Amino acid sequence: MNGSLSSAAQRKWRVINALLIRELMARFGHRNIGFLWQVVEPLLLCLGVMISWSVLYGERNHGVRVIPLVLTGYTFLTLWRHMPARLTHAFRQGSGLLFHRSVKPIDILIARGLLEAIGVLIAFFVAYIPLEMLEIISPVDDYLVLLGAWSLMCFFSFGAAMLIVAIAHFSDVFERMVQPIMYLILPLTGVFYMVYWLPPFARKAVLYSPLVHAMEMFRAGYFGKAVPTFWSLSYLLVWSIVINALGLVLVLKAQRHIELE
């Protein structure tokens, strides 16, 4: 039994790995800097905002250093925006791959999700390492908390992306509304503020959002006890499991209606 499960897992990983490589080649090709574009795009956005905020607010904003605040915030924001955007048309663009019996629609989604998660995380460290070496920012306080928060961010974002992909597959109207909805949700991400800056009534309201818990946990890993943070690991984990379960159910339903090209 264990042997068959292990063999099935290995086969599934080979499929996802092959899809990941195919996605890399299809999106970036062999020319220029290839996969590095996956890192450069979020990196340039983050650096641009760091410069802008530094000019506007100086070194600190509400007692928090601006550059690491932006670095942590826009890393999460890039993941949150890119994950649904890259996955929304996955069924349509990858339908030809489904002629292969070993390839399932969920495999295509997982491959694209992994590419986004890895690319944005690398972009974070590409920005972080030189800034820390130049002593422009302080070092990460707790890598376990930071990377744990990142893993849950990716898990939650992937679940949300699955929901969006499945619903968009049945509704062209919803597909056009995805980007406006993503912008409207921005105040509930915690990207542009720390929870402790808010008055008690607003603090209580935003903490209903699992995205805020993920952002606060990520910043807790970075800043440590130097900055007050509010987050619950169990709350974020439950939300992530529930949204992934719902997303998977809808994806399995949607895959029955994929037209092979």
Give the pLDDT confidence of 13-35 residue by residue, as tens digits: 788 777 777 777 776 665 555 55
Position 224 pLDDT exceeds 80: yes
Nearest residue to 69 via CA among 213, 210, 223, 186: 223
Q: Which of 28-42, 72-86, 149-163 is the least confident region?
A: 28-42
State which H helix or E strand residue 46 sits in.
Answer: helix 36-57
Q: What is the pLDDT of residue 208?
A: 94
Q: pTM of the prediction?
A: 0.86
Residue type, 77: L
Position 248 pLDDT exceeds 80: yes
Nearest residue to 153 via CA among 234, 46, 80, 88: 80
Q: Which residue has the higher pLDDT, 258 or 212?
A: 212
Which two structure tokens, joined as six digits, stand for 209?
């959002």
Give the pLDDT confidence of 104-125 residue by residue, as tens digits: 778 888 888 888 888 888 888 8
Position 66 pLDDT exceeds 90: no
pLDDT band at 238 (very low <50, low <70, confident <90, very high): very high
Angle at 156 between CA 4 and CA 177, to 5 degrees: 120
The answer to whether 38 touches 55, Cβ cutoff 8 Å, is no
Task: Determine the structural domain holding residue 113 and report its residue range.
Answer: 2-257
Q: What is the pLDDT of residue 120?
A: 86
Q: Which residues of 113-140 are buried (b: 16+ CB within 10 A; e: fewer)?
A: bbbbbebbbbbbebbbeebeeeeebeeb
- Which of the listed ranges 9-13, 103-107, 231-235 does the model predict with the highest average pLDDT? 231-235
Both ends of the chain: CA-CA distance in Å? 37
Q: What is the pLDDT of residue 199?
A: 92
d(CA 85, CA 175): 10
Nearest residue to 220 via CA among 230, 205, 233, 234: 230
Position 145 pLDDT exceeds 90: yes
Structurally, the chain folds into a number of domains equal to 1
pLDDT above 90 covers a percentage of the chain that reads: 28
